[in-house]
């Protein structure tokens, strides 16, 4: 025996149950409306009429609901007999949260539907929507991390710290590189942040969802490089694993391959790399199978590839293939204006989980007198040592930094050797090291130009720098 008000269909409510629940739903809602089995409005309360901007509710009775509410899904509920328990409906500039229920006659046939506006303002749902979006973003991030299998990136463009003109130009070129799927050559001394920039370019590019695979060519023995690049077929070597070992090209498929210290690549491998880049296919060691690959190559080096091409130690065709867009990264001594913000950023990272340590302006000025041959990597090392030696002090002072700063090789020589003067000679007035280096660099550039009759390309080769670096330095000292 059925219970009172039991639905005659599992998909909706009986008219009797609707009549019992209707007053409660109507009172709790911001508006209510009902339609018949043809989707015509059979009833609408004054609250919903006001919400829709209808002066007289009686004027819409008998009209098709979609003629009054264009995006209404009530006809869908009547047609399918299935409720829509929670939905967001747009009406003009409003967003309404509504629930729609079909109701049935005694024979179990759909005889109409009723809808209630639960919220006429999404503001109360903001915490719930925000939580859902956060969870959704976390889920997508987790899926991306699993897809990359540990081949993701740690750095964004904001991690290349600096606001000097030189640093801003590097960032401008990085954004340009990210917008084009072309090879990029990063030039800079060791410790200038070439890998940070490579990962940032990948993160901004259309391949950001793909893997980022880096390989340091200077750190891999020459006899293993080919296997490292192209992989190994099962049984290619005696005693080798009986399964395929993927190379860096296969691991980077669909993403970015970063070739660090590409200037250290042996010439035998240069030709094979060139073919892989041109044909977009590789052949694993010990295999006759050609494997198609889709990778974007970013290369970096601290060596002068243009000079290496001139002397024949680096293939010119590979150089032109890699150097579609060149990004020279200036050394730290060439952008001392960024020293303060670099110190703040590095100290913030060094002090994670510990009491924050600040650095004085005088201490930053003292750092500016150091030549920084190791660039930002050396700066971090010095700050870490100073932080350790500070013994819990809240501020790094000049004296602390002087105790940990390396002594430049030139400064370690006896004064008589540096100046050629005897013990009784007057000591010259000391000048800031940055000024001394800048003057020496300017003199070298102008001397090279004079020797080469004003030919800038020849002057760049004479000084052992690329043309773009030479032009940048020439503009700075002109």
326 and 350 both lie in a single domain: no
Stronger pLDDT, 125 or 376, i.e. the higher one: 376
310 and 368 both lie in a single domain: no
pLDDT bin (cut points 50, 70, 90) of residue 211 is: very high
SS3 125: helix
Whether 462 has a pLDDT exceeding 60, the answer reads yes
Whole-number percent of the chain with pLDDT over 90: 27
Stronger pLDDT, 307 or 137, i.e. the higher one: 307
pLDDT of residue 295: 93
pLDDT of residue 413: 43
Mean pLDDT, rounded, of the chain: 80
Whether 434 has a pLDDT exceeding 70, the answer reads no
Domain count, the chain: 4
350 and 206 both lie in a single domain: no
pLDDT of residue 40: 93
Q: Between the CA of residue 309 and those of 135, 150, 433, 464, 466, what are the distances in Å?
A: 52, 36, 34, 12, 11
pLDDT bin (cut points 50, 70, 90) of residue 446 is: confident
- Print the domain residue range for 444: 433-477
200 and 259 both lie in a single domain: yes
Whether 136 has a pLDDT exceeding 70, the answer reads no
Q: Is 322 domain-assigned?
A: yes
Among the listed residues 59, 57, 12, the one whose alpha carbon sits nearest the alpha carbon of residue 31: 57
295 and 378 both lie in a single domain: no
167 and 313 both lie in a single domain: yes
Whether 415 has a pLDDT exceeding 50, the answer reads no
Mean pLDDT, residues 412-422 taken together = 41
Mean pLDDT, residues 19-41 taken together = 79
Query: Of 39-48, 104-113, 442-451, where does mean pLDDT reach its minimum?
Result: 442-451
Please give the Cα distance from 73 to 70 (Å, whole number). Answer: 9
Please give the Cα distance from 26 to 461 (Å, whole number). Answer: 85
User: Which one of 305, 330, 355 terminates a domain?
Assistant: 330
Stronger pLDDT, 229 or 139, i.e. the higher one: 229
Query: Of 218-227, 237-246, 418-427, where does mean pLDDT reach its minimum?
Result: 418-427
309 and 360 both lie in a single domain: no
pLDDT digits (tens, 9 = 90+) for 330-360: 999 999 999 999 998 999 888 887 878 888 8
Q: Which residues pair with 227 in a beta bridge?
A: none
Burial class for 367, CB neighbours closer than 10 Å (0-12, 13-18, 19+): buried
Q: Which pTM value belongs to this model?
A: 0.56
Q: Is 140 domain-assigned?
A: no
pLDDT of residue 332: 94
Whether 12 has a pLDDT exceeding 60, the answer reads no
């Amino acid at each position: 025996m059925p219970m009172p008000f039991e639905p005659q269909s599992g998909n909706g409510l009986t008219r009797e149950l609707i009549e019992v629940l209707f007053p409660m739903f109507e009172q709790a809602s911001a508006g209510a409306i009902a339609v018949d089995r043809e989707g015509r409005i059979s009833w609408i309360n004054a609250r919903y009429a006001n919400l829709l901007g209808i002066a007289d509710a009686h004027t819409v009775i008998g009209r098709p609901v979609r003629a009054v509410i264009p995006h209404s899904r009530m006809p869908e509920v009547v047609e399918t007999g299935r409720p829509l328990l929670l939905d967001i409906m747009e009406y003009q500039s409003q967003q309404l949260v509504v629930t729609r229920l079909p109701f049935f006659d005694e024979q179990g046939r759909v005889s109409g539907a009723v809808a209630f506006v639960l919220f006429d303002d999404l503001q109360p749902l903001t915490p719930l929507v925000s939580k859902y979006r956060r969870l959704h973003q976390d889920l997508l991030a987790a899926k991306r991390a699993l897809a990359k299998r540990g081949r993701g990136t740690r750095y964004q463009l904001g991690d290349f710290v600096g606001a000097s003109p030189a640093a801003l130009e590097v960032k401008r070129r990085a954004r340009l590189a990210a917008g084009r799927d072309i090879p990029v050559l990063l030039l800079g001394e060791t410790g200038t942040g070439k890998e940070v920039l490579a990962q940032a370019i990948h993160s901004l590019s259309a391949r950001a969802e793909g893997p980022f695979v880096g390989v340091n060519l200077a750190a891999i023995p020459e006899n293993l490089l080919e296997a490292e690049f192209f992989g190994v077929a099962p049984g290619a070597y005696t005693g080798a694993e009986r399964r395929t070992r993927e190379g860096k090209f296969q691991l980077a498929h669909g993403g970015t391959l970063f070739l660090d210290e590409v200037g250290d690549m042996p010439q035998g491998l240069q030709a094979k790399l060139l073919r892989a880049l041109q044909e977009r296919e590789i052949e694993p060691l010990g295999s006759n199978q050609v494997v198609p690959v889709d990778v974007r190559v970013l290369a970096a080096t601290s060596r002068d590839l243009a000079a290496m091409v001139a002397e024949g130690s680096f293939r010119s065709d590979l150089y032109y293939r890699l150097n579609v867009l060149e990004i020279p990264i200036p050394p730290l001594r060439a952008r001392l204006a960024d020293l303060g913000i670099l110190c703040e950023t590095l100290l913030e990272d060094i002090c994670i989980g510990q009491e924050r340590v600040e650095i004085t302006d005088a201490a930053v000025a003292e750092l500016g007198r150091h030549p920084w041959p190791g660039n930002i990597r050396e700066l971090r090392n010095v700050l870490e040592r100073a932080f350790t030696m500070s013994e819990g002090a809240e501020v790094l002072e000049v004296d602390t930094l002087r105790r940990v700063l390396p002594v430049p090789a030139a400064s370690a020589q006896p004064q008589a050797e540096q100046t050629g003067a005897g013990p009784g000679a007057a000591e010259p007035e000391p000048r800031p090291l940055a000024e001394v280096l800048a003057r020496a660099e300017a003199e070298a550039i102008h001397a090279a130009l004079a020797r080469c009759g004003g030919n800038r390309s020849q002057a760049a080769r004479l000084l052992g720098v690329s043309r773009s670096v030479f032009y940048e330095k020439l503009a700075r000292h002109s």
